[in-house]
Amino acid sequence: MYNSSDLRKGLKIEIDGEPWEVTEFDFCKPGKGQALYRCKLKNMLRGGTMDKTFRANDRIDKPHLNQRDFMFSYVDGDNYVFNDNDTYEDVFVTKEILGDQTYFLHDNMECQILLYNNKPIDITLPIFVEKAITRTEPGVRGDTATNVTKAAALDNGFELQVPLFVNEGDVIKIDTRTGEYAERASKA
């Protein structure tokens, strides 16, 4: 259990059997009045938000959350299967949880998975992945500016903007948090 005084931005709490993250927090105390802890909460399962005000004596449930390392194993229909190297346990992560990150997975990629009551609810990939560009307009010789971009695509169909000097066959680093080009890793 948490007390109201434990509340702060980033704390994860449980309300009515669902995990919520505190995204905004403010301590209030109107003149000579009760302490109030005003929070904006984000539902960690469904993504919705709500405002909630806690009082000094409120007791707040702690969600059963743990984050563990897994390796990407294989795709099974709409599920992505990850394996815990130590326990050989498999977990199934849905396409919805992965979102665009499905484009960045590769065999044996090491990921961190957040489990709520032993069910995966969020996944963190390595910050950068290297991928080859399979389709883009020809590069412009000598143009190394990075503020002008053009469209490019990976072999799996993921599209992103890259600088003009990047050519088909080049390997680039992509920031998995944003899905954006970071730098060129090697030339074709």
Partner 1 sequence: MNTRNVPAKRDILAVRSRLLRLIRRFFYERNAIEVETPVRVRAPALEEYIDAEPSGDAYLRTSPELHMKRLMAAGHGHIFQIGPCFRKGESGRLHHPEFTMLEWYRAGADYRDILDETRSLVRSVARGLLGGCAFEYGGTPVDLDADWQVITVADAFAEYAKADVASALRSDRFHALLVEKIEPRLGIGRPSVLIDYPIELAALARSKPAHPTVAERWELYIAGVELANAFSELTDAGEQRRRFADCAAFRRKTGNAAYPLDESFMQALSDGMPNTAGCALGVDRLMMVLTGADDIGDVVAFRE
- Closest CB 74 distance from partner 1, rounded Å: 46
- Binding flags for partner 1, 26-65, as an x/- string (CB under 8 A): xxxxxxxxxxx-x--------------x-xxx--------
* Count, residues near partner 1 per rule CB under 8 A: 17
Residue number with CB closer to partner 1 (33 or 138): 33
- Closest CB 1 distance from partner 1, rounded Å: 16
Based on the shown chain and the rule CB under 8 A, indicate whether residue 74 belongs to the binding site for partner 1.
no
Residue number with CB closer to partner 1 (3 or 85): 3
Residue number with CB closer to partner 1 (27 or 74): 27
- In the beta sheet, which residues pair with residue 49? 42
Residue number with CB closer to partner 1 (57 or 147): 57
Give the range of 25-33, 131-139, 153-161, 171-179 binding partner 1 by CB under 8 A: 25-33
3-state secondary structure the chain: CEEHHHCCCCCEEEECCEEEEEEEEEEECCCCCCCEEEEEEEECCCCCEEEEEEECCCEEECCCEEEEEEEEEEEECCEEEEECCCCCCEEEEEHHHHHHHHHHCCCCCEEEEEEECCEEEEEECCCEEEEEEEEECCCCCCCCCCCCEEEEEECCCCEEEEECCCCCCCEEEEECCCCEEEEEEECC
- Closest CB 138 distance from partner 1, rounded Å: 45
What dihedral do alpha carbons 161, 166, 172, 177 form, nearest 10°?
-20
Residue number with CB closer to partner 1 (2 or 128): 2
Task: Give me the residues that bind partner 1 (CB under 8 A), please.
Answer: 5, 26-36, 38, 53, 55-57
